């Protein structure tokens, strides 16, 4: 089951988000240390401010993805996908594709969806390409993790 996460899901979201930050440090701009120090209200606030969708299996949150509409009048036709993660034991099951398609269906009048992905994460890049995203640019040295810089690819999906 996939549905919009609410503040009532904050504890489950926090636990899975911290797992994601620990296991996949290159996939997120935040670190487990940074967000692990935040109170539960921080995570509840994030879910209240942004559209965040969760995938559930037997009542447990197993994946999530966020969608944020850009806020200015000239950019409100664009949406940014952020924070995509599926628990390791559910990868390869189609959950990630289901989550992303749920985002696409929830995009309403957005004309374009955008995301950034670490360039050397070939599996994720291929996944997004398979979901209709195309590479449009590179952000060099976008992240510094353990003393090493990592580039990010900018990817876009045309919605119309």
Residue ranges of domains in the chain: 2-158
Contact 64, 3 (CB under 8 A): no
- Distance, in Å, from the CA atom of 148 to the CA atom of 131, rounded to the nearest integer, reads 29
Full-model pTM:
0.91
CA distances from 76 to 2, 101, 108, 120, 155 (A): 25, 20, 12, 30, 18
Q: Would you state the pLDDT for residue 19?
A: 96
Tens of each residue's pLDDT in the chain, 160 residues: 999 999 999 999 999 999 999 999 888 889 999 999 999 999 999 998 889 999 999 999 999 999 999 989 999 999 999 999 999 999 989 999 999 999 999 998 999 999 999 999 999 999 999 999 999 999 999 999 889 999 999 999 999 8
Q: Quick one: tokens of 89?
A: 């034991």
Q: CA nearest 53: which of 14, 90, 1, 130? A: 1
- Distance, in Å, from the CA atom of 77 to the CA atom of 103, rounded to the nearest integer, reads 15
CA 23 from centre of chain: 15
Query: CATH second-level architecture of 2-158?
Result: 3-Layer(aba) Sandwich (3.40)
Question: Is 55 exposed, middle or buried (CB count within 10 Å of its CB: 0-12, 13-18, 19+)?
Answer: buried
């Amino acid at each position: 089951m996939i549905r919009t996460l609410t503040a009532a899901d904050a504890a489950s979201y926090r636990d899975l988000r911290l797992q994601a930050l620990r296991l996949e440090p290159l996939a997120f701009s935040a670190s487990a240390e940074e967000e692990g120090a935040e109170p539960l209200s921080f995570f509840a606030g994030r879910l209240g401010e942004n559209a965040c969708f969760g995938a559930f299996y037997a009542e447990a949150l197993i994946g999530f993805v966020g969608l944020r509409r850009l806020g200015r009048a000239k950019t409100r036709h664009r949406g940014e996908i952020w924070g995509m993660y599926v628990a390791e034991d559910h990868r390869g099951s189609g959950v990630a594709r289901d989550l992303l398609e749920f985002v696409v269906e929830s995009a309403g009048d957005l004309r374009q969806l955008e995301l950034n992905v670490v360039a050397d994460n070939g599996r994720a890049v291929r996944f997004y390409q398979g979901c209709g995203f195309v590479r449009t640019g590179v952000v060099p040295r976008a992240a510094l993790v353990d003393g090493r810089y990592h580039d990010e690819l900018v990817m876009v999906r045309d919605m119309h």
